[in-house]
Amino acid sequence: MRWLETDTANCSVQRTLDVIGEKWTLLVLREAFNGVRRFDDMRRHIGMSEPILADRLRKLVAAGILRPVPYREAGHRTRNEYRLTDKGMDLFPVLVALLQWGDRYCADEDGPPVVVRDRVSGRPVAAVVVPAGTAGLTARETESTPGPGARPVPADRPARAAPVPRERIGCHRNRPRP
CA distance 77 to 50: 18
pLDDT value, residue 30? 96
The confidence score (pLDDT) of residue 167 equals: 47
Residues 59-88, mean pLDDT to the nearest whole number: 96
pTM of the predicted model, to two decimals?
A: 0.77
Question: Residue 159: what pLDDT?
Answer: 52
User: What is the band of 170 on the pLDDT scale with cuts at 50, 70, 90?
Assistant: low
Contacts of 78 (CB under 8 A, 6+ apart): 70, 71, 72
Q: How does the average pLDDT of the chain come out, rounded? A: 84
Q: What is the pLDDT of residue 169?
A: 46
pLDDT over 90 (residue 163): no
Q: What does the pLDDT read at residue 8? A: 82
Higher pLDDT, 169 or 98: 98
CA atoms within 13 A on the CB side of 37: 14
Residues 6+ apart with CB under 8 A from 141: 118, 119, 120
> Residues 96, 86: contact at Cβ < 8 Å?
no
- How far is Cα 108 from Cα 54, in angstroms, rounded to an integer? 31
Distance CA 54, CA 80 (A): 11
**Predicted confidence band at 157 (pLDDT cuts at 50, 70, 90)?**
low
